[in-house]
């Protein structure tokens, strides 16, 4: 395992916005937008990366951490993710292939009652921006955006 070669230039601190879509609420409480900070780092051997971020909802600050492990041979990313708001009692696992543009769309699943739901995590670099998006996928396959965040380098 390692980190993608293209990520070496993107390690460090980022600032941006974090949008949370609470599809079960009505009106102006449905979408929350807040300032967010993110730090992307790797271990000294570049065997893995960590993506640590902060954001806020309803006056409460939250944190999230992703452990990112990349297989150069398989061109696949594995993510272990925990967030103090989203699933604060465990680690969510997702995996997915590297796209031609170097982005990743990783997929995983979780149980809600007796149903299995899906969740996707997309990580992409576009010029001077880092974009992290997440979708919640209903048991029938319909995806609805859950998180849309965009960051620029922290000067």
Give pLDDT, residue 127: 84
CATH number at residue 56: 2.40.128.20
Residue 100 structural domain: 5-153
Q: How many domains does the chain have?
A: 1
Q: CB neighbours (10 Å) of residue 24?
A: 7
- Measure CA 53 to chain center: 9
Measured CA distances, 137 to 20, 70, 112 (Å): 15, 24, 12
The DSSP-derived string for the chain is -B--GGGGGG-EEEEEEEEEE-TTS-GGGSEEEEEEEEEEEE-TT-S-EEEEEEEEETTEEEEEEEEEEEETTTTEEEEEEEETTTSTTS-EEEEEEBPTTS-EEEEEEEEETTEEEEEEEEEEEETTEEEEEEEEE-TTS-EEEEEEEEEEE--
Q: Distance between CA atoms of 48 and 72, rounded to whole angstroms?
A: 12
Beta strand 49-57 with 104-112 is unpaired
Strands 12-21 and 31-42: antiparallel
Q: Return d(Cα 93, Cα 117) in angstroms, integer.
A: 13
Prediction pTM value: 0.92
Tokens coding 101 = 């543009």
pLDDT in tens, the chain (155 residues): 678 888 888 999 999 999 999 888 888 888 889 999 999 999 988 889 999 999 988 888 999 999 999 998 999 999 999 998 887 678 999 999 999 998 999 999 999 899 999 999 999 998 889 999 999 999 999 999 999 999 999 86
CA distance 53 to 126: 19
């Amino acid at each position: 395992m390692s980190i993608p070669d293209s990520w070496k230039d993107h390690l460090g601190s980022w600032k941006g916005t974090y949008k949370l879509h609470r599809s079960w609420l009505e009106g102006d409480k449905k979408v929350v937008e807040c300032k967010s900070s993110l730090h992307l780092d790797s271990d000294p051997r570049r065997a893995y990366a960590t993506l640590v971020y902060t954001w806020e909802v309803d006056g409460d600050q939250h944190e999230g951490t992703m452990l990112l492990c990349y297989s150069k041979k398989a061109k696949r990313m594995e993510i272990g993710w925990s967030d103090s708001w989203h699933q604060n009692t465990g680690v969510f696992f997702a995996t997915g292939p590297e796209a031609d543009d170097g982005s990743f769309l990783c997929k995983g699943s979780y149980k809600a009652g007796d149903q299995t739901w899906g969740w996707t995590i997309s990580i992409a670099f576009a010029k001077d921006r880092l974009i992290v998006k997440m979708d919640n996928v209903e048991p029938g396959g319909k995806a609805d955006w859950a998180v849309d965040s965009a960051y620029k380098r922290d000067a």
